[in-house]
Amino acid sequence: MRYPISIQTFATIRNGNYVYVDKTDLVYRLAQEHVCFLSRPRRFGKSLLISTLDAYFSGRRELFRGLKMEALEDKWDVYPVFRIDFAKGRFDLAGELEKVLEEYVSSWETIYGKSDIYTTLSSRFQYVLEQAAARTGHQAVILIDEYDKPLLDVLEEDLENVNRSILKDFYGTFKAADASLRFVLLTGVTKFSQITVFSGFNQPNDISMDSRYDAICGITEDELYSVFGEAISEMASKLNYTVETMKAELKKQYDGYHFSNALLDVYNPFSIINAFNKMDIDNYWYKSGTPTYLVKLLEGHHVNMQKLTSRPYESQYFVDYRADAENPLAMLYQSGYLTIKGYDRHYMEYTLDYPNVEVRKGFVALMAEANKCCS
């Protein structure tokens, strides 16, 4: 098997004959929505999802041959796709967010036209969307990856309010240009309070805890055993385990994420792919990088994880993100250090805990780094 290490482009995976866990039935279902928001921890496949949607809405039928999508779609219309990736920007620099957005809008204006009447980024973007729909005969598609990075980069800094205001105005375009939009998806790690970022447009359909989309990012146990059965056997042989013991070790180390009250087990895809590529168990997720915003927020604070996980919560306490080191529940849940472990339907309350061994070890290392900064 060829494993797509650090590859987040759907076309590269398909054309390069890399192993691919077929999520295209869920992609097709998602594509029938209108304006959506999805929160998942880092390294969970959000960028690959964006790339897959880009390929679908761009009518690249050849990339979906042999996949579930092939039996679901028969039209393959080509839509104008507007894709924004905030992953590579340095938004702790003054003016960087405006610069990045200006580059995107200017590049689209060279394709769909520019009007001197519109001078702000949001009004220019709205004009581009309307022109794209008029010229192509198809409504526009907007895909935004890591929508929250311009805010996470500057948490508790003066630039936070500046960047927040810029994003609020820019995202407000979606409401003004609604008639020109076929589909909008924003992805990120955190769901900032809707009154501060999303209030400029009609509230997106938050699918982060929608059980229909539990498996849209990550790997389920059924997918693990059906797609990676050969790799599991090979790994078991190398480590001198039985296949069943190998499955148990993988589950203990990388499973345990639940994204809704359906409690569907989801494995960390980044860790699983790396484990099979190297044929070894290791803490791949944490070693891939520590979220700097978490380190900054937790500096000098001791998080009592036992206290946090010893009581039930209504979803409102961990779904909407608030940058609060004194009450870090939402921050730890959305960053992947906590996940849903139980649900009481009568009281509509959730219990949270570490997903797995890898994350437990990663949290200890995270707290050590946060406290080292202040020692």
Report the pLDDT value the prediction gives residue 204, as an integer from 0 to 100.
85
Report the pLDDT value the prediction gives residue 200, as an integer from 0 to 100.
58
Show the tokens assigned to 16: 């390069």
- If pLDDT is split at 50, 70 and 90, which confidence band does 302 have? confident
**pTM of the predicted protein model:** 0.95
Residue 74 has pLDDT above 90, yes or no: yes
Q: Which residues pair with 84 in a beta bridge?
A: 144
Residue 163's identity, in one-letter code, is N
- If pLDDT is split at 50, 70 and 90, which confidence band does 325 have? low
Residue 282 has pLDDT above 70, yes or no: yes
Mean pLDDT value across residues 158-173: 90
Report the pLDDT value the prediction gives residue 323, as an integer from 0 to 100.
58
257-272 pLDDT, tens digit per residue, is 999 999 999 999 999 9
Cβ atoms of residues 37 and 186 within 8 Å = yes
Give the mean pLDDT of the chain. 92
Lowest-pLDDT range of 72-76, 318-322, 356-360: 318-322
Contacts of 27 (CB under 8 A, 6+ apart): 49, 52, 53, 56, 69, 216
Report the pLDDT value the prediction gives residue 375, as an integer from 0 to 100.
54
